[in-house]
Every structure is written in C-alpha cells, then in structure tokens.
Structure 1
Amino acid sequence: MLKIIQITDLHLTPPGIQHIGCDPRQRLEAAIASINAEHADADLVVFTGDLAALGQAAAYRQLGECLAKLKLPFQLCLGNGDHRARFRACFPDVPTDENGFVQSVTEIDGQHLVFLDTLAADGDHWGELCDARLLWLNDRLGEIDGAPILLFLHHPPFRVGIPLLDSLALKNPERLASVLAGRNIRHMFFGHLHMAIAGSWQGIPLSVLRSTVSQFALRLGVDPAARSLEAPFYAIALVSADSVVVHFHDYTYEGPLLEYTPVPSVIVDDEAIAYSFQKASAS
C-alpha cells in the first residue's frame, strides 16, 4: 500500500516574524517531528504550496533548514504565497518542466503522482494554469495512458461557498476539466483554503487540507471571511489498488488517549444492559 503525507500552507516567514499569532517554523518543525516519529514508513511527503507567506528568500532558507530534519523523500509545490524565481534559487534541484514551472511526475508502486504549479503569472492570489502548463499536463497524461493518477496542486478549481475563497480559486477551471476528462484520476489533493474539505469535482474525488498555521472559519455565504485558530493538520493518504483513504491528523493535540471499550453489539429488551455498560464506561 502506498502511503503519502500531505502538508500545506506553511506560510514560512523570515526568522523572528510571526504569521497570524504563531511561529510558522515552529509549527512546521512539530509536523516534521510527528511524521518522523509516527509515519517513517511513508513513501513520500508532498507540500502543496504557500511554502512561504510572501515569497521571501529568507523564508525559503528556513524551509531548507526544516526539510533537512525530514527523514523521508519530499516533493514541493508552489502556491500564491510563493515566488518562483526565489524558490528555484533556494531549491535548484526541484524538478521543473521545460518552461521553468515547478511541475513533475513520479511513479510509485504503479501510481502516477502529478504535481502542478498554479502560481499566477501576475503574482495574485488566485490560481492559474496557462496554455504552457496545461499542454505539459496533457502530454504527461497522454504518456501515462490510462494508469492510475494522483494529482497534487495548490488552488482548487471549484467553489466552496465562502465568497472570498471562491474569488481566489483556479481561473478557467473548465480548461483543466477538459484536460482531465477521460483520464484515470483517482484523487486530487489541494491546499489554499486552510480548511478540511472532502468531496468531488467533475466526478473526481478530492480532499483539501488545513494549514499548519491559521485556518479560515466555516462561515458559508459570509463576506468578509474570517480566520480561526483551529488546530493545524497534516494528511495521511493510504492508496491501494481499490481505494484512496485520507486521514486528517491534528499533530499538535497533547490531550489524553482513552482506551476504547466496544459497545455491546446487541441491546436486548432489558435496558439494564445499556445502563450497566454506561456506568462501567464512566467509572
């Protein structure tokens, strides 16, 4: 079974600068420590964009120092908080396409993982897949030719019911839909929204992950949007021939773990059985 960790929206800053009340590097280091301790058997860790908050070179240097502690192979994608040239200067070995976009394909155990670069040319917060990037994607999918595909990108191409976030989605999503039509896309993994969301788009299953820093509050139809300080997540995707299962892990949780006692499988006519079980469980 293929095991993939997803982390997103790190919003790293230069040393000493916080992001919405927290230290982004500290949050990332906690995630990496958790992954090293709990998921050392994973095949890959994918970072789905907004690696930096404002694309500063010092933020990418912080990222490099943190990644040096990660004991697993990793893949880096770009989001709207990133600066492509500065990123590539700090990470010259990261795979790119022939046009310099941070896009690549890798195969693990028969699954083809495709990583897209949705950073807009004008540096704005919405997502973009230009003609060159879509042509590259179409060519790569043609080479894969029906084999199972897992797709990783920062910007979702769909609406989620929060006006601000919907205005910052991937532009011209119908163009991406056209390229993906008829392909064996098993799952799409997104960042950008700072929320835990699951569903489907164009019939393709998808999941969206919380940030390692702040989140967006679930206020459907409300403008302006609001931030929240809900717990950060990373995701663990377990991929087999017949399923893709995505777990969301609150890696900063420090509360107790309570031993689970199974509920009686049959509650017969005598309700005393239920009361006895509840009393024993509460003690």
Structure 2
Amino acid sequence: MLKIIQVTDLHLTPPGIQHVGCDPRQRLDAAIASINAEHADADLVVITGDLAALGQATAYQQLRECLVELRLPFRLCLGNGDHRARFRAAFPDVPADESGFVQSTVQIDGQHLIFLDTLAADGSHSGELCDARLSWLKHRLDEIGAAPVLLFLHHPPFPIGIPLLDSLALKSPERLASVLAGRNIRHMFFGHLHRAIAGSWNGIPFSVLRSTVSQFSLRLGVDPAARCLEAPFYAIALVSPESVVVHFHDYTYEGPVFEYSPVPAVIVDDESIAYTFQQANAS
C-alpha cells in the first residue's frame, strides 16, 4: 500500500516574524517531528504550496533548514504566497518542466503522482494554469495512459461556499476539466483553503487540508472571511488498488488518550449489561 503524507500552507516567514498569531517554523518543525516519529514508513511527503507567506528568500532558507530534519523523500508545490524565482534559487535541484514551472511526476507502487504549479504569472492570489502548464499536463497524461493518477496542486478549481476563497480559486477551471476528462484521476489533493474539506469535482474525489498555521473560519456564504487558530493538520493518504483513504491528523494535540473497550452490542436484551458497562467506564 502506498502511503503519502500531505502538508500544506506553511506560510514561512523570515526568522522572528509571526504569521497570524503563531510561529510558522515552530509549527512546521512539530509536523516534521511527528511525521518522522509516527509515519517513518511513508513513501513520500508532498507540501502543496504557500511554502512562504510572502515569497521572501529568507523564508525559503527557513524551509531548507526544516527539511534537513525530514527523514522521508519530499516534493514541493508552489502556491500564491510563493515567488518562483526565489524558490528555485533556494531549491535548484527541485524538478521543473521545460518552461521553468515547478511541475513533475513520479511513479510509486503502480500509482502515478503529478505535481502542478498553479502560481499565477502576475502574482495574484488566484490560481493559474496557463497554456504551457496545461500542455505539459496533457502530455504527461497521454504518456501515463489508463494507469491511475494522483494529482497534487495548490488551488482548487471549484467554489466551496466561502465567498473570499471562491474568488481566489483556480481561474478558468473548465480548461483543467477538459484536460482531465476521461483520464483515470483517482484523487486530487489541494491546499489554499486552510480547511479540512472533502468531496468530488466532475466525478473526481478530492480532499483539502488545514494549514500548519492559521485557518479560515467556517463562515459559509458570509463576507468578510475570518481567520482563526483551529489546530493545524497534516494528512495521511493510504492508497491501494481498491481505495484512497485520507486521514487528517491534529499533530499538536496534547490532551488525554483513552484505551478503548468495545461497547456491548445494542441489541442485547438484558439492559443490565449496558448499565454495568457504563458504571465500569464512568471514570
């Protein structure tokens, strides 16, 4: 079974600068420590964009220092908080396509993983897949043929019901939909939204993940949007020929953990069994 860790929206800053009330590097260090300790058997870690908060070179240096501690292979995608040239200067060995976009593929355990670069050319917060990037994607899908594909990108191509975020989605989503139509896309993994969301788009299952820093509050249909400090997540995707299962892990949780005892079956005729169980587990 293929095991993939997804982390997203790091929003790293220069040393000593917080982002929306927390230290982004501290949050990323904690995620990496948790991944190393709990998921050392994973095949790959994918970070789906907004590596930096404002694309500063010193933020990418922070990312380099953090990733030295990660004991697993990784792939990096770009988001609207990133600066492509500064990122590539800091990570010259990261795979890129012939046009210089940070796009690549890898095959693991029979699954084809594709990583897209949706950073807009004008630096806007909305996502973009230009002709060159879509052409690259089409050629990769042609090469892959009928084999299963997992697709990773920062910007979602659909609305989620939060007006601000819907205004900052991938532009011209119908162009991406046209390229993906009829392909064996098993799952799409996004960042950008700072919320845990799952569903399907044009019949393709997807999942979205909380950031390692701040989140967007669940204010459906409401302007203005609001930020909050709900717990950060990373995701663990377990991929087999039959299924894609995505777990969301609150890696900063420090509360109690209780051993679990199975409850009696509810169809037991003798109600005293239920009372006995509840009294024994009341503490």
Q: What's the TM-score, normalizing by structure 1?
A: 0.99
Alignment of 1:31-180 (within 5 A): 31-180=31-180
Letter in 2 for 1:164: L
Which residue of the partner structure matches residue 213 of structure 1?
213
Give 1:222's aligned amino acid.
Answer: V
- C-alpha deviation, 1:274, in angstroms: 1.5
Does residue 1:17 correspond to 2:17, yes or no?
yes
Distance 2:225 2:182 in 1: 36
Structure 1 window deviating more from structure 2 (271-280 vs 114-123): it is 271-280
1:24-70: CA deviation from partner (whole Å, max 9, x where unpaired): 00000000000000000000000000000000000000000000000
Pair 1:185 & 2:185 matched: yes
1:237-279, Cα deviation, whole Å (9 max, x unpaired): 0000100000000000011110001011243333222222111
Three-state SS of the structure 2 residue aligned to 1:205 is: strand
Tell me the equivalent position of 2:241. Answer: 241
Q: Is the Cα–Cα contact under 8 Å of residues 44 and 72 in structure 1 kept in the other structure? A: yes
Partner secondary structure for residue 194 of structure 2: coil
Superposition RMSD in Å? 0.7
Structure 2 stretches of 5 or more lacking a match? none
Alpha-carbon contact 1:134-1:176 (below 8 Å) kept: yes
Any idea what the Cα deviations from partners look like across 1:181-228, whole Å, max 9, x if unmatched? 000000000000000000000100000000000000011000000111
Contact residue 267 and residue 274 of structure 1 kept, 8 A? no
Task: Find the aligned partners of 1:16 and 1:51 in 2 and give their Cα distance.
Answer: 17
1:92 positional shift:
0.2
Cα distance in 2 for partners of 1:241, 1:270 equals 44
Q: Distance in 1 between matches of 2:187 and 2:45?
A: 16
Distance 2:205 2:127 in 1: 20
Instruction: Give the percent of matched residue pairs that are identical in Structure 1 and Structure 2.
Output: 84
2:31 maps to a residue whose letter is A
AA paired with 1:154? H
Q: Which amino acid aligns with 1:268?
A: V
Contact 1:267 1:273 in 2 (8 A): no
Instruction: Report runs of 4+ in structure 1 exceeding 6 Å deviation.
Output: none
Aligned partner of 1:6: which letter?
A: Q
Cα deviation 1:62-95 (Å, max 9, x = unaligned):
0000000000000000000000000000000000
Amino acid paired to 2:16:
G
Deviation readout 1:142-201 (Å, 9 max, x if unpaired): 000010000000000011000000000000000000000000000000000000000000
CA distance in 2, matches of 1:123, 1:261: 53
Is the 1:138–1:179 Cα contact (8 Å) retained in structure 2? Answer: yes
Q: Provide the rounded CA distance (Å) in 2 between the counterparts of 1:34 and 1:159.
A: 32
Aligned length: 283
CA distance in 2, matches of 1:225, 1:17: 23
Pairing 1:250-261 to 2, within 5 Å after superposition: 250-261=250-261
Gaps of 5+ in 1: none
Q: Give the secondary-structure state (helix, strand or coil) at the position aligned to 1:132.
A: helix
State whether structure 2 residue 10 is matched by structure 1 residue 6. Answer: no
1:199 aligns with 2:176: no
CA distance in 1: counterparts of 2:223 and 2:102, whole angstroms: 33
SS at match of 2:281: helix
